[in-house]
Chains A and B, each alone.
Chain A
Amino acid sequence: MSCCAPGVEGSLDLERSGQGMPSAEELKLSARPLGEGLFQTDLSVPGVYCGACITTVEGALKKLPMVARARVNLSSKRVSVVWKDAVEGQQSDPTDIVRQIASTGYESHLFSMAGENGDEVRNQLLRAVAVAGFASANIMLLSVSVWSGAEAATRDMFHWISAGIAAPALIYAGRFFFLSAWKALRHGQTNMDVPISIGVFLSYFVSLWETLHHAEHAWFDATVMLLFFLLIGRTLDHMMRDRARSAITGLARLSPRGATVIASDGSRDYRPIEEIRPGDRLSVAAGDRIAVDGKVLFGVSDMDASVVNGESTPVSIKPGDLVQAGMLNLTGSLTVEATAAARDSFLAEMIGLMEAAEGGRARYRRIADRASQYYAPAVHLLAFLSFIGWGFIGGDWKHAMLIAVAVLIITCPCALGLAVPVVQVVAAGRLFQNGIMVKDGSAMERLAEIDSVYFDKTGTLTLGRPRLINRGEAGEAALTLAAGLAGHSRHPLSQALYRTVEGPVAAFDSVSEVPGAGVEARTETGLYRLGSRLFACGEAHDNASSRDQASSEVVLSLDGKELATFRFEDSLRPGAEQVVAGLQEHGIATGILSGDRAPVVQALAGKLGIADWNASLSPRDKAARLSEARERGRKTLMVGDGINDAPALSSAHVSMAPATAADVGRQAADFVFLREGLDAVPLALDVSRKAGQLIRQNFALAIGYNIIAVPIAILGYATPLIAALAMSSSSIIVVVNALRLNRIARVAQPEPQALKPSAPIGQGARLAS
């Protein structure tokens, strides 16, 4: 008996697997190389909220020799760390960064959104907004002078200066609209940008013509202001657009590039995955992922099958068992006979499911697009009719042209263009403050429509961390003993047991792990064993009974005699019961789709009062359930976290994942919630529904404005002054209405705990687990 506890490194590893921290592999793959051995990693740290947080996190990170720079962004609650690949010849381990942040008490998650940092289009749009704003302010200055009574030569000069300012501004700031309109026209289609571009061009050249002829009215200010408002709407809209994202790459990453094939003469050969044929014998070492589906020939081991069933508890594997591509071999080495080629294996099937699901999602049409589909032709028609009408009735075609331009300007969809994005940006900001990230604006539109919610079990309704439930019954003495043994094992239950004991634990020499069974230690008192009942007590009878139980157990024995039985249960996510009850109260159907065994799922469903539960589902089954629901006309929200949930997340109407989810799950989901509690689901639903109401109100306001303004324009009373007033006031009303969401959402969610930063994990998690 030497030291009192296993090494520090081991315990940190335990912490990592308990908290769902990203692995070194994941961190390395997501890091952005900056050249010269420097890498940048962006982590989401949902707990930061004040100045002291910045100093704490940055200070701690800068203490690490491998960290070159660290900067916390408080607005987006991220920290970006630039780290060196190697320090003094030693390869550095990126998980140190995550551990260092965890040691300050803040939780961190890997959060990579493709192309978000270098969002060049956003910056281009912002620059265009600035230029348009500058031009419109200066032209307005001159226009106000004209409206106040500047006459003759002065007026002409002001008009000419306006024209001079407007021309470059229109070209620079308007290019987004012109290009998009041109693209649509070339394909024989029309979109919102076509009337905008025609309106801008026509009004500019008509104004120029009028200026040439010393006329009283010019529309330069209206033209540029129009672009200014539209660009604001476009910029906000761009920020809420779905960035091209796909979870498929993350899934493909799970597939090993090859496997070691054992030839008939016993020689070993590493072959690429495409060349592995059914019937080949593969050697799988502990820590390897299974490359293709197969049957175990020799060896016993524990297998992390979370790819298939989403469970954190490993499955024991013995000869004759079937394994599937993507599973991770944890403890023993195995010889596996391939039963399928890589393209027919489980992972390939998952990728196929994801492709189908992601293709299907692209079909959703955003509310703004649906509105503009009717709006654009209506506007064209109105302007054209007023041109023809005034031309034939009045006979003055030049005057008719001016009227048509006034109609185009007045009807230009400033308020309409702002109606949706402003609300969505405000709503997304509101959700972000409460720890929910929104991937794109249309997700909120879809969430507002749902009528049923399906939850995954492990990691979603529960935290995915086993918790000892019979501490008093087992006794502290046995617990200290067991924890000493458990510290030597990587099995999640052992780790949970080890974490339960806070004081010193018993120390053992010569501890060995028996793959697929447990750990044993030979001491002077006898042979201690910790593991399954079969392994610890040598009893063969209870295999079936323990499988039917809702909880999992670990037995401690001395020379085959049972000393204690430890029962574990996964702890419920905080607020799960209230959330499910609340959803049902609002008439939303709830269900569970789990890959776990039926008794466990049934027990949980009973506790939460969910009648519609399904157990032992494969990823394909889950996706199929959601497609079925869609065909029955239901709009479903899927909340899940595992790799096995990814196809379901993609095929649901809208989806949500916790930040602790597997990378693939986070990528596939529309919403990611960063806090522990499940109350993110009703909050997101609530805010999305309120946002939906405000969007409809905004449409009503924008249309109401048109009903008043268009007749004025058609009758020929719309002077540039009236146009300027009408356009800006309607836009401002829409924006102010959108800002009301802040107030509504605050009234709806008074719970102070939702606004508090999440508890520091170090100590808190230890107590909880």
Chain B
Amino acid sequence: MKVVAIVGNPNVGKTELFNRLTGLNQHVGNWPGVTVEKKEGKYSYGGEEINVIDLPGIYGFTTRSIDEKIAKNFIVKNRPDVVVDVIDSTNLERNLYLALLLIESGANVVIALNMWDIAKERGMEIDVRRFEGLLGVPVVPTVATTGEGIEELKKAIFRALKGKKKGKKIKIDYGHEVEEKIKHIEKILERCRKDGYPSPRWVALRILEEDEDILSEFRKGNYWKDIEKLLDERIAGKIVEKRYELCSKLAAEIIKEKKEVKTLTDILDEIFLHKVLGIPIFMAILYAMFQFTFSFSAPFSDGISLFFSWLGNIAKSNISNEVLASFVADGICAGLGSVLVFVPPIFCLFFALSILEDSGYLARVAFVMEKILSKFGLHGKSFIPILVGFGCNVPGIMAARTIENESDRIITIMINPLISCSARLPVYALIAGAVFHGYTAGAAIYSMYVLGITLAVLMALLLRKLLFKGEVSPFILELPRYTKPKLSTSIIHMWNRGKWFLIKAGTFIFIVVIIIWFLSVFPWEATNGGKIIENSYIAMFGRIVEPVFKPLGWSWQAGTALFFGFLAKESIVGAIGALLGAEGEGVYNALANSNWFTPLTGFAYMAFVLIYFPCVATLSVMLREMKLKYTLLTVAYTVLLAFAVAFMIEFIGHLFGLS
């Protein structure tokens, strides 16, 4: 099977093009760094089965970040049959740099001139034939969002696979001094043959550019001293400079006309990137998003709650066997119902986040937050993992792979569990809905997200001062253009991200709920069929953990529920629902009528849930992405911080006379 790799700068529409070619539905984000690992798909053309690989966005072959390493290694070592370089037509000059590197590496390149429609809208006229002639590779204008040019691209890929050439490929002349050094290294390479690389010239250039991956291979060899003598930062700079010079020259010849047209993106950027108002505007949008999530979803949650209450009552009145009736009503209906009522807020949150992301706004947030983040020792790119972490900490931690500097990356991973993922939302919604009223409930949830970001930033500062001393590395962010979000796309994104909650609720959380039911109604006689929970097995466990949480004013049931949150944070609501036995009145009312929480202790409990112990899935990905000692440190600091913050909230609350 032939292999085609899709490569390009970040945020040029690679994943969208990949989806168009393969008919798959990989997540497309309107911010850089969506693809952190390569993704695969297939399509057939002209009787040929073609395997397509979507690689992470890269600017060049300097392997500073993990995603760049993945992309470079795949192109250089796996040698795909065709490399499709996706170029943003509106940013042609800068995108040409990677195109030159790919051609230089000897790859069989086809250029997809994407976002062709926007370039035309902006008054740019690109001479495609001239482009092909100058570079010596096929160039196809495409609009990945609409599918325009995809058939032509498939045809060009097919022709390239069959070895049809578009003329002589461009060869860069780096000037006498550099060319002499290249020849010198080529001669050394003849003596110490290194297999698996494109050409001796390419290896020579990588050596002169001080590519650490290549240099490390030569360091152990006999010829290292000869090579080392040739290394010179000035030469490396000259090579890069020469390529940029050529990019400018090529762009000037290819772009026939460029009228300066003020676009909506320019106007919106004036507002959203404003140095003073940018952040308050973001806070206002975030607040609106959480009010929408909590308040708009309420009737749908009520509907689900009423349905499970009705189902529980029917079970109790129609099943004669008491144990079975309790199992269905108190276990399945109360437990599962108390989890499923949070499907509407989770879907609402993902819908709102999809709109913000698809519009291109979230990438701007990263930009405006950078100034604050860098003051606290965080890299600007850290905000993307933080934003992804609002959905789930697992992809949030994975997204940190785009950060080149190792210290910046580890700090970003270590603070990510403090970012309030959507699994915590059901817990906030439950507690806030039960102990706060009206708009204060929405404000309480909003404050959890603000608290999460604030603590994450403060922890980053602490980690930078104590463990990872040094300066924050420079930040460059590709700002995508704004787009009008499509309702259908946002609904698809919402579904793709939200369905895991349904799957988890139907499998993992369901099992947890059944276990809790069993522990809370047995021994059957002692609990009088689950009516006296104080005599149950779970109460025995609860008594053991009670002293830990008692100083915070939480009941043993509330403390016990936290233990199930180690597995997955949503399990806490399932546990609360089962422990309350809330089949008749709905979990909100049952909790409101219980004396588990006052508004103050409820708020402290929400903060505790936000901070304490990353869930099992987050822990496993942390172990994969960083050393064990940092993972253990994260676990330790989150638990300690959770207690400290909860105590502080209650202490300050009492000072102000709150209960």
A and B together in one complex: no
B residues contacting A by CB (< 8 A) are: none
